Structure 1
């Protein structure tokens, strides 16, 4: 479904221009002409983003922003004819996410709306994050966490753990794990693998890292 953009603008001509540009960009724009209507609309049916004129009748844009920030975290793009640095800072401190001064190019407004929505949309889980029970191995960020708590790992430990996390339940021989380490340490040995596993077991717990006697190691969901 297209994102809903609420436009709070009391100038009918400006509101119509913004509405048409946002509609052409694939959004679902809704227009209100005063601050009280903006607050009521957000509370009744929260939009994905609010384009908020600073100078509105009934309730001005500053107060609209202040009121909505109490219990709403939708992105707010503030519009104003005031271009001083103090005005911009004041708008941002009230909770606006971006600030555009009049006159503006409607294409720039659409670009800023798009950027704000992109930043506010939760990212889907990355394929780089491997999860085994409460253990999360982020190959892109090169981090490990257990039940949300960071687990510091050396590069060698991380390489061994990431290899096993990619195929939980599979038994890895020392030779297979050495192959994974070869890009980091050409002189790695079976004893080095055992040390990495021992350190990892101490950090994430023995329930996750199991020894298969006579074969190697495997990672399971705790």
Structure 2
């Protein structure tokens, strides 16, 4: 999985950069370092990395802005680092499109494990390549695309996998913890609110729900993809 993969680290602490580079290179990754947000964006465009490790508190351009610009450019696996542990920062990072979030201080082995988990779930080659077709909604896993009223909707891999999983088992209720384990993996240690953030983004992108199907919140439990084709 790591063979030849290029990782951009945007972190203003050279010691952290060097430590991460040491561990990443042992795993077979090619590492690019940058020490402020402005340089990080420049190297992102120059080097076209496969993965980004991004600190939030950066000189010149902060990590929030860097994350937003990268997400506006393309959907690349992105792990955010910060010295803050407040839930606000975690939720904001996830809303901007970060795939995961690690609070300093951390064990470099944890970063490697989180990276591998992200890469597993953002890999478009899922076990199933079947299409799911509902009125005005087509989920094409072979091409990794979603069509709403024949319009191509851009969903990042984790959002698409979550939608596909729910839609492939219509009318079945899943808890947030079950969804975390199914989509993010048993080794994911993030907050269950990750599910709420991603469901919210999916709903916003799909637009108004039809009477035939909808993403339903089951209060106090979780979510289901509700289907009523008899309407």
TM-score (norm. length: structure 1): 0.55
The alignment yields a C-alpha RMSD, in angstroms, of 2.4
The one of 92, 95, 111 equivalent to 1:93 is 95
Matches for 1:1-222 after TM superposition, within 5 Å: 1-123=3-125
Q: How many residues align?
A: 135
Taking the aligned partners of 1:57 and 1:33, their CA distance within structure 2 comes to: 8
* Partner SS for 2:73: coil
1:83-104 alpha-carbon deviations (Å, 9 max, x no partner): 0111110111112110000001
Residues 34, 59 of structure 1: 8 Å contact kept: yes
Taking the aligned partners of 1:22 and 1:60, their CA distance within structure 2 comes to: 24
Unaligned runs of 5+ in 1: 130-137, 151-222
Taking the aligned partners of 2:25 and 2:6, their CA distance within structure 1 comes to: 10
Taking the aligned partners of 2:42 and 2:16, their CA distance within structure 1 comes to: 21
The alpha carbon displacement at 1:149 in A equals 6.7
Taking the aligned partners of 2:85 and 2:72, their CA distance within structure 1 comes to: 26
* Partner SS for 1:109: helix
Residues 48, 117 of structure 1: 8 Å contact kept: no
Taking the aligned partners of 1:67 and 1:47, their CA distance within structure 2 comes to: 14
Q: 1:206 maps to which residue?
A: none
1:4-33 alpha-carbon deviations (Å, 9 max, x no partner): 110001101011001101111111111111
CA shift in 2, pair 1:112/1:149, >3 Å: closer
* Partner SS for 1:103: coil
Taking the aligned partners of 1:61 and 1:86, their CA distance within structure 2 comes to: 15
1:96-135 alpha-carbon deviations (Å, 9 max, x no partner): 11000000111000111111122223218x6x87xxxxxx
Unaligned runs of 5+ in 2: 140-231
Taking the aligned partners of 1:33 and 1:65, their CA distance within structure 2 comes to: 15
Taking the aligned partners of 1:149 and 1:12, their CA distance within structure 2 comes to: 47
TM-score (norm. length: structure 2): 0.53
The alpha carbon displacement at 1:70 in A equals 1.0
Residues 4, 47 of structure 1: 8 Å contact kept: yes
